[in-house]
């Protein structure tokens, strides 16, 4: 009996080591912004100040659900959005916290507005205005019905 309990404990603890943290769009909204001048562009941009909770997730494997957006004709930039294309961040229907950049190992086979469940490693980006504030690297995605 003790052996069965020990085996069950080992199995459950090892499964937990490989799981990811589920996040949602409310979690990503826990961010403040200040204007910061970027000399390379001669303009002010909104500079993100991430919450302690978000900082604790940097470099961790996370999972989130959202709408897939393919806005790059070259097929190199992919986005996960809180909202579908018709009401996404680029259309003025939210801030930068309502979208995240997805970096896949190989080009994904999804179409705009597919609802995806995506796992990846979270990177917080405050300084590179060429990329989103939130970036998921090594993404794996599953289309939801």
Residue-wise pLDDT tens digits, 64-119: 999 999 888 777 889 999 988 766 665 666 778 889 999 998 889 999 999 999 99
Domains of the chain: 20-29+58-143 (2.40.50.870)
Name the nearest CA neighbour of 90 among 70, 118, 110, 73: 70
Query: Would you say 141 and 103 are in contact if contact means Cβ atoms under 8 Å apart?
Result: no
Bridge partners of 50, per DSSP, are 31
Query: Would you say 48 and 30 are in contact if contact means Cβ atoms under 8 Å apart?
Result: no
Average model confidence (pLDDT) for the chain? 84
Residue 2: pLDDT band with limits 50, 70, 90: low
pTM of the model: 0.81
Can you give the pLDDT at residue 75?
77
Cα separation, 38 vs 121, whole angstroms:
27
């Amino acid at each position: 009996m003790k052996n069965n309990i020990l085996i069950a404990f080992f199995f459950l603890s090892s499964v937990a080591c490989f799981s990811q943290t589920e996040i949602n769009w409310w979690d990503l909204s826990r961010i403040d912004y200040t204007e910061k001048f970027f000399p390379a562009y001669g303009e002010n941009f909104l500079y993100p100040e991430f919450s302690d909770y978000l900082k604790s997730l940097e470099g961790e494997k996370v999972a989130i659900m959202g709408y897939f957006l393919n806005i790059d004709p070259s097929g190199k930039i992919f986005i996960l959005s809180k909202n579908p294309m018709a009401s996404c961040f680029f259309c003025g229907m939210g801030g930068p916290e309502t979208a995240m950049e997805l970096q896949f190992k190989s080009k994904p086979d999804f179409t705009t507005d597919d609802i995806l469940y995506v796992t990846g490693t979270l990177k917080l980006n405050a300084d590179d205005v060429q990329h989103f504030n939130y970036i998921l690297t090594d993404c794996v995605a599953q289309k939801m019905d």
